[in-house]
Amino acid sequence: MVASAPFTRRSWRELLYALVSFPLGVFGVAFVMATLFFGTLLSVILVGLVLLASSTLAVRRLGALNRDIVRRLLDEDVPPPPPFRPGPGVVGWVRSGVTDRPGWRARGYLVVKFPLALAGFIAVIALRIGSLWLFLAPAQWAANVGTETLQSHGVAQHYIINFGSFYFDTWQRTLLLMGIGVVGWWLAPWVLRAILYLDRHLLADLLGRTSLPSRVRQLERARAGAVDDASARLRRLERDLHDGAQAELVGLVMKLGLAQEKLAHSEPHSLPEVAQARRLVDDAHDRANTALRQLRDLARGIHPPELEHGLESALGTLAARSPLPARATVTTTERPSPAIEEIVYFCAAELVANAAKHSGGSAVAIELTQDGDLLQLSVADDGIGGAAIAGSGLSGLAERLSTVDGRLKVTSPLGGPTVLAVEIPAKP
């Protein structure tokens, strides 16, 4: 395997790749340098910006060509970056062209590619061709082809090569050269492979999709946007309910209340129709009230109105309403985003309700502190302990928290006390 390395299909393809890469590498770096130079120079008259933007498309093409060659010759399939998405209008097109990240990464590749292509090319020429020449040294010497002639002591002596005063001028010595040629030939693919190893990595990093860390950042941003968006939508929904259906229902309840009063004071009481109408209106009034209450609870579940004034007030109200004596301490320095406030509030509400239901304790302490960008909520009770995340309502909570990179930690030894600690980044 190792011995046959120079003659494998793979080695020949790598050699071909190195040969193709060289002109491509020279062209690439020249193109990038030229467009950058003239683009920057001419950007004062705006033409340069157009040139830069157009060159983005070109370098993306060059990148695609490089990916294609790598796929065909090196069997490495690098997924392409997202396609160029120009903004609206000429200005939008130019702006997206100049700021296109994959374009700049492709430029980076093309610039770094040049020394690599050069190194690969030299490795191929020097090692393969040179080794071949050395391998043929005995034949050359015998045929007296490509040799130099040394005049020594009046005798013309031809030789192949010399290292200082050491002349390869006997056929035994040319056999040594042949050996060096064999070693060189055998070494050549490994040297090239080392150079191509770098090339492949650069290519995957710069011509492929955005690298993993930045892709993660991108996804985090997208998720934060989605979380914020969902929360804004819910707040709007709650506002719509409040302004629309709830207001209408209150209006209805008032009308029915008035009708109720009228019927109660109407004479004569004895008429069976009046009694019946009164029962109907009473019933309608009750039902409208029930509907109103249900709607109110629904709206509260969608977005707790207590949160309008921030977490301190909301957690205070939560503590005041708790069936288990509760105390809320809030020492945050700034208001987190509405979506985060909502999650903190729902966590606290759920944990306090849990403590009241299961802990058997006599008091619960709600504490919200902030450590840099991290919000820490702790809900502690003095109950019997033994709470666990698995198989309880807590798992749903943990799941919800994970959408904002929050974590739930339960410390609940048998016999208590139970401390539920929630950590949430203040910014989603």
Partner 1 sequence: MSAKPSLRVVVAEDSAVIRAGIVEILADRGHEVPAAVGDAASLIEAVAEHHPDLALIDVRMPPTYTDEGLRAALTLRDDQPDFPVLIFSQYVETRLLVELFGRHGSQGAAGIGYLLKDRVGNVADFMDALSRVAAGGTALDPEVIAELIGAGGRARALDNLTAREREVLSLMAEGRSNAAIASSLVVSERAIEKHISSIFLKLDLLPSGTDHRRVLAVLEYLRL
Binding site for partner 1 (CB under 8 A): 239, 242-243, 246-248, 250-251, 253-258, 260-261, 285, 288-289, 292-293, 296, 300, 305-306, 308-309, 313, 316-317, 319-326, 363-364
What separation in angstroms does the CA of 178 have from each of 51, 145, 185, 210? 54, 15, 10, 48
CB of 294 to partner 1, least distance (A): 12
CB of 113 to partner 1, least distance (A): 58
Q: Nearest to residue 347, comparing CAs of 268, 401, 286?
A: 401
- Give 247: exposed, middle or buried? Use CB within 10 Å, 0-12, 13-18, 19+: exposed
Closer CB to partner 1, 204 or 319, in the complex: 319
Closer CB to partner 1, 201 or 287, in the complex: 287
Closer CB to partner 1, 116 or 307, in the complex: 307
CB of 289 to partner 1, least distance (A): 6
Pairing status of strand 418-425 against strand 148-152: unpaired
Closer CB to partner 1, 267 or 371, in the complex: 267
Q: Nearest to residue 14, comparing CAs of 184, 201, 196, 183?
A: 196
What separation in angstroms does the CA of 258 have from each of 9, 67, 265, 412? 95, 79, 11, 55
Closer CB to partner 1, 269 or 321, in the complex: 321
CB of 313 to partner 1, least distance (A): 5
> What is the torsion angle, in degrees rounded to the nearest 10, for the CA atoms of residue 156, residue 160, residue 162 and residue 167?
-50
In the chain, what is the straight-line distance between the N-terminal and C-terminal CA atoms, in Å? 54
CB of 260 to partner 1, least distance (A): 7
CB of 251 to partner 1, least distance (A): 4
Query: Within 212-327, where are the H helices?
Result: 212-241, 247-264, 272-302, 311-321
Closer CB to partner 1, 313 or 392, in the complex: 313
